[in-house]
Structure 1
């Protein structure tokens, strides 16, 4: 399975590979860039394209993936894809030569706006499938959560327990040591 991947200033870069024996496309990695921050999503084992991304995105994407195993580059700044919460534009597809029966393809979008993880199927979204119980039970001495994490921390709801009963004697300096205040 190919693992190499090159990043650039693209808003989204998706590394795919095709198993030429089956014709199946797999997702190996996805990078989301926002200014100076990059979020990287790597799969422990490659995930089939259709099981990784939402159906409308897959339908659009397969139209631009290479049909032949030749190295190719496709760039189309006029391509735009939009869902209710995301807009992508400026498509570039770079397909490499076949190695060991696999062809690697990198799909890049130059611009992206909105909730980019909505392109993923729910099981791959970092904000999905997180159970936030209303009761922590034995883990926090049976205290209930209000549903507002900031309020729970302030009131000691979720964090109350033996560690919170000890006095806190730490102080934070207002300026770095060795610097004097100027008048």
Structure 2
């Protein structure tokens, strides 16, 4: 939809440019006079050529402005998209094997200064099933979320967190580093 809107804006400005060129051409033709009249003077020709050049330059400037505007909107959209993904991209879901008593810990780190909301941390066993008692939940996380340490009987394989960033966008971050919106 946004691409259509951007293309529509460019199209409208281009159509306005073409309309101005057409009007300018008609003014030039009128300045040259209808058929059967005496030949226009040199000043009429110079005026007509000046108007035509002015119309072409105006049309060209409008087309250039439309393209520049479209490019700036696209650049701004890409910049906002990058900033939006920046916070979620820094969230880390960690699985640590080989802790004392042969435990495995699952935790989440939010190294940004911004909170994440409605965080649910799921732990997956070797069979691909969510471990019982899941998810571990927290309404607001700023900094580290200690998670849980599991005994060897749970055979922890991986983990993932479902959360909402400070911009209100829901994300999934896996312990393998994959990020989904």
Judge same fold: TM > 0.5, yes or no.
no
Q: What is the TM-score with the length of structure 2 in the denominator?
A: 0.23
Q: What is the TM-score with the length of structure 1 in the denominator?
A: 0.23
**Higher relative strand content:** 1
